[in-house]
Amino acid sequence: MLDIKITKNTAPKAKPADESQLGFAKIFTDHMFLMDYAEGQGWHDPRIVPYAPFQMDPATVVFHYAQELFEGLKAYRTADNKIQLFRPECNGQRMQDSSDRMCIPTVPVDDFVQAVKALVEVEKDWVPHIDGASLYIRPFVIATDVGLGVHASKHYTFCIICAPSGAYYAEGIDPIRIYVEDEYIRAAPGLTGFTKCGGNYAASIKAGELAEQKGFAQVLWLDGVEKKYVEEVGSMNIMFKIDGKVYTAACTGTVLPGVTRRSCIELLKDWGYEVVEGPLAIANVMKAGHEGKLEEVFGTGTAAVISPVKELDWKGDKVFINNGVIGPVTQKLYDTMTGMQWGRIPDTKGWIVPVC
Ligand code: COI
C-alpha cells in the first residue's frame, strides 16, 4: 500500500467548454502522479503534484536510448455520476511484463492500481460527461540516470498523466481504411513487439505517415520475418471474421497483448464464436475478401475501443468489407464494451473497478 502525498494545484485550468471537440489527448489535467526509483532504495516518494514540465539533464538516458515504457487506460463517468475504470490490473500486469523486457524495475500491480485510482479521484471533475468521451490515463516510466553509456539506468521516474479525450480516430466509430504495410516491419521474434515501449511506436511512424498521405487511417503490420502473416495495426490489435470464425494473431512475442483484445476474445467465446488465435496469412484474408467470406474486420484497443475496418489495401489489391458499414459482431462488441465501461449495462464479467 502506497502512502501517497497529495499537493493540490492552487491554479487549476479551465475545463474544456465543449466536450464534443476534445479529440484524443490534446489537453491535460491539473495534477500528475510521480514516484521515483533508485537502486538500493527501490520505489519511493509516491506523490500527486500539480501538473508541470520536467526539468531534466540533456544527457538523461531516456532521451538517448529510449529506456522507457508506457500504458494506456481510461476512466469513465456513468449516468449516475460514478467514476470507474476497466480492468486496470491488466494494465498493471502488462506494465510489469514490459518492465522486465526493458530492464526497468517493476511496480507492484496493486501499487499501480492504487496510484491510478488516487490520481483519477483527485481529477474526477475532469472526467468528461458526454457519451463516448472519457479520461485517458497515461502511466509511463522513464530512465533518469545521467550519462551516455548504454546500460540499464539505476534511477527511474514513474509518472501518470490524464487527458480528457474523445474518439482516437477522426472517423469515430465510422469504418476506416487500412494499408497493409509490405516494406517496413514493426516487430520480430526476440525484439520488443509485446511491450508498450515508445521505441515500437517511434519505428512505426514513417509507415503510418506514408499511409496517411495515401488516405489510410493506419497500417496493418505483417510479421517481421516473412511479411506473410497479419499481426496488428498501429494503435490497436485487429480481428477478422471469416466464414463465421474470428481470427486474430496470437500473442507470442511480436504482438501487443491488448486489454481490449483479450476482453473481446472472452466476450466472443461467451457468445459462442470460435476464436482462432494464430497465424493468418494476408493472402488468405484477401482471398476471403474476394470470395465474399471476409464478413467483418475490426480493431480493438483502449484508445480506439472497437474500430470497424471498411477497406484493406495490400500491394494495390483491395478488398472492401461489409459494404463499408459496421458489421453486427463489431457493433455488438462495441455496444457491450462501451456499455460496461460507461455503466449502461451490468458488468457480468467483474471487469469494472469503481473509483468514486
Ligand atoms: C492505447 O490504446 O491506449 C494506446 O496506448 C495506443 C496509443 C498508441 C494511442
Q: What is the full DSSP assignment across 213-255?
A: HTT-SEEEEEPTTTS-BEEEETTEEEEEEETTEEEE---SSSS
Q: What is the whole-number distance in angstroms between the Cα of residue 71 and the centre of ligand 1? A: 8
**What residue owns the CA closest to ligand 1's atom 3?**
72
Residue 336: pLDDT band (50, 70, 90) is: very high
Residue 234: CB within 6 Å of ligand 1? no
Asked whether the beta carbons of 19 and 130 are under 8 A apart, the reply is yes
Torsion of CA 98, 237, 353, 118, to 10 degrees: 50
**Element containing residue 331 per DSSP (H, E):** helix 328-341
- pLDDT for residue 223 is more than 80: yes
Residue 127: pLDDT band (50, 70, 90) is: very high
Torsion of CA 209, 213, 215, 219, to 10 degrees: -30
Q: CA-CA distance, 27 to 212, in Å (whole number)?
A: 23
Residue 168: pLDDT band (50, 70, 90) is: confident
Q: What is the mean pLDDT of residues 49-62?
A: 98
Q: What is the pTM of this model?
A: 0.97
Q: What is the pLDDT of residue 204?
A: 97
Using DSSP bridges, classify how beta strands 176-180 and 305-314 pair: parallel, antiparallel or unpaired: parallel
Q: Is 149 exposed, middle or buried (0-12, 13-18, 19+ CB in 10 A)?
A: exposed
Residue 301: CB within 6 Å of ligand 1? yes
Q: CA-CA distance, 230 to 220, in Å (whole number)?
A: 7
Residue 149: pLDDT band (50, 70, 90) is: very high
Q: What is the pLDDT of residue 131?
A: 87
- pLDDT for residue 172 is more than 80: no
Residue 88: CB within 6 Å of ligand 1? no
Strands (E), the chain: 5-6, 31-38, 42-50, 68-70, 73-77, 83-86, 134-143, 155-165, 176-180, 218-222, 230-233, 236-242, 245-248, 275-277, 294-301, 305-314, 317-320, 352-354
Q: What is the pLDDT of residue 167?
A: 85
Per DSSP, the chain holds a count of helices (H) and strands (E) of 8, 18
Report the residue among 235, 236, 256, 263 best suited for mutation to probe ligand 1: largest number of ligand atoms under 8 A from its CB.
Answer: 235
Residue 263: CB within 6 Å of ligand 1? no
Q: What is the whole-number distance in angstroms between the Cα of residue 70 and the centre of ligand 1? A: 9
Q: What is the pLDDT of residue 10?
A: 98
Per-residue pLDDT reduced to its tens digit, 268-289: 999 999 999 999 999 999 999 9
Q: What is the pLDDT of residue 77?
A: 98
Q: What is the mean pLDDT of residues 83-111?
A: 98
